[in-house]
């Protein structure tokens, strides 16, 4: 483990930015968001960014290819370009875990080259949480907020920043900042972790479990009568899917530029009425079916296809952002049979 003083963090950023584009959470009028580092950029101390960092690998909208048409002929133009190396600094434990969940979708054969390319060029520097709040429930999914994964893990105390490499990319980055850091023991990190874990234990969602969910639960849960009441007030706005770090459904659309056609991919939401709509009908006609799909996917279907891993990391963004205060926790407590607790 290595460390530097809080004051030296700017030099660390400067050193990283010499070799790669550096992004870090920065405070703004509407909360924290990832911004490109420039000299003088101050890293946010917010618990997390409003939007998840999934944009770095799976952007909200991206051009896939272009077409030029003339008469009856079509030309396909592959516009993929080599990406530049980048570092995302300050990712929380929950969001770091979300990349594993996205990897299982996009890197699974046939590998999505757009995603894979960004993933290869990106280095994740995580940041341990010290002040988890009442919407946090990463521990439900076995995530330790005080011990985040990523290529390089970081802990920030009042005086110092500690670094621990977990991967080859992390080692490389740690070597690059060796000049501004020094060897250290992990006493201060251990003490911080202890404190954070104590807070985690006292959080209102600390007792939330995945009991009742997981692979093989479709038959039992699909027709649960509770879906009706749970979904009744859902507006179908899709906010939960957009702020969710693990929601990965996408649409592919064409845009006529006047000179040709750009085929692009953008985020889509299973909460939208036209998501499954076909020329001859729609298998999910009501919001109940769309609402159920989102939670069944995260809590049953995804684990069934992915060795029991749930497609939720407990970041709490949907809890904070849903306009009608409906969320995965309420679904888990109700359908999972914990409504009375």
Partner 1 sequence: MNNREETLIPKIGVITDVRIDTPDVKTFRVVTPDGKKAFEHKPGQCAMLSIPGVGEAMFSITSSPTNSEFMEFSIKKCGCVTEWLHEAEPGQQITIRGPYGNPFPVDDKFKGQDLLFVAGGIGLAPLRSVINYCRHYRENYGKIDIVYGSRSKDDLVDYQEILNEWMTDDNIFVHLTIDREQEGWDGHVGFVPNYVKELGFDTNKTVIICGPPIMIKFTLEGLCSLGFEKTQIYTTMELRMKCGVGKCGRCNIGSKYVCKDGPVFRCDQLEELPNEY
What are the residues binding partner 1 (CB under 8 A)? Answer: 64-65, 67, 69, 72-76, 78, 80-82, 105-106, 108, 110-114, 116-117, 218-219, 222, 248-254, 256, 260-261, 263, 265, 268, 270, 275-280, 283-284, 289, 293, 296-297, 300-302, 304-305
Burial class (CB in 10 A: 0-12, 13-18, 19+), 148: buried
CB of 77 to partner 1, least distance (A): 10
Nearer to partner 1 by C-beta: 167 or 276?
A: 276
Nearer to partner 1 by C-beta: 111 or 178?
A: 111
CB of 281 to partner 1, least distance (A): 8
What's the CA gap between 181 and 163, in Å, rounded?
9
CB of 313 to partner 1, least distance (A): 17
What's the CA gap between 243 and 320, in Å, rounded?
10
Nearer to partner 1 by C-beta: 197 or 284?
A: 284
* CA-based nearest residue to 94, from 265, 243, 297: 243
Beta bridge partners of 66: 77, 262
CB of 293 to partner 1, least distance (A): 8
Nearer to partner 1 by C-beta: 188 or 309?
A: 309
What are the DSSP calls for 22-55, one per residue?
A: EEEEEEETTEEEEEE--TTPPPP-SSS-SS-GGG
Nearer to partner 1 by C-beta: 66 or 151?
A: 66
Nearer to partner 1 by C-beta: 5 or 69?
A: 69
What's the CA gap between 65 and 150, in Å, rounded?
31
CB of 135 to partner 1, least distance (A): 25
CB of 260 to partner 1, least distance (A): 8
Contacts 24+ apart (CB under 8 A), 191-197: 192/128, 192/130, 192/146, 192/155, 192/157, 193/128, 193/146, 193/147, 193/155, 195/130, 196/128, 196/129, 196/130, 196/132, 196/145, 196/146, 197/144, 197/146
């Amino acid at each position: 483990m290595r460390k530097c003083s809080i004051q030296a963090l700017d030099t660390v950023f400067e050193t990283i930015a010499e070799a790669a584009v550096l992004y870090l959470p920065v405070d703004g009028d509407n909360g924290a968001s990832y911004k490109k580092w420039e000299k003088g950029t101050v890293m946010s101390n917010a618990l997390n960014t409003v939007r998840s960092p999934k944009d770095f690998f799976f952007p909200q909208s991206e051009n896939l290819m272009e077409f030029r048409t003339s008469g009856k002929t079509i030309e396909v133009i592959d516009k993929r370009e080599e990406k530049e190396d980048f570092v995302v600094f300050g990712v929380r434990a929950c969001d770091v875990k979300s990349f594993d969940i996205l990897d299982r979708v996009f890197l699974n054969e046939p590998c999505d080259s757009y995603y894979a390319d960004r993933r290869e060029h990106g280095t994740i520097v995580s940041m341990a949480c010290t002040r988890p709040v009442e919407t946090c429930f990463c521990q439900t999914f076995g995530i330790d907020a005080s011990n985040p994964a990523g290529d390089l893990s970081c802990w920030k105390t009042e005086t110092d920043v500690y670094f621990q490499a977990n991967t080859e990319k992390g080692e490389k980055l740690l070597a690059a900042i060796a000049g501004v850091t020094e060897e250290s023991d992990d006493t201060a990190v251990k003490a911080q972790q202890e404190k954070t874990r104590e807070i985690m234990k006292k959080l209102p969602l600390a007792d939330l479990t995945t009991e009742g969910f997981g692979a093989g639960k479709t038959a039992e849960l699909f027709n649960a009568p509770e879906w009706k009441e749970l979904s009744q007030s859902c507006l179908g706005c899709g906010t939960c899917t957009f702020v969710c770090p693990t929601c990965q459904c996408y649409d592919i659309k064409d845009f006529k530029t006047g000179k040709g056609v750009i085929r692009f991919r953008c985020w889509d939401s299973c909460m939208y009425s036209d998501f499954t709509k076909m020329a001859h009908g729609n298998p999910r006609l009501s919001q109940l079916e769309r609402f159920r799909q989102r939670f069944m996917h995260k809590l049953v279907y995804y684990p069934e296809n992915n060795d029991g891993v749930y497609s939720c990391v407990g970041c709490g963004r949907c809890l904070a952002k849903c306009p009608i205060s409906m969320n995965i926790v309420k679904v888990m407590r109700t359908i999972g049979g914990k409504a009375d607790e």
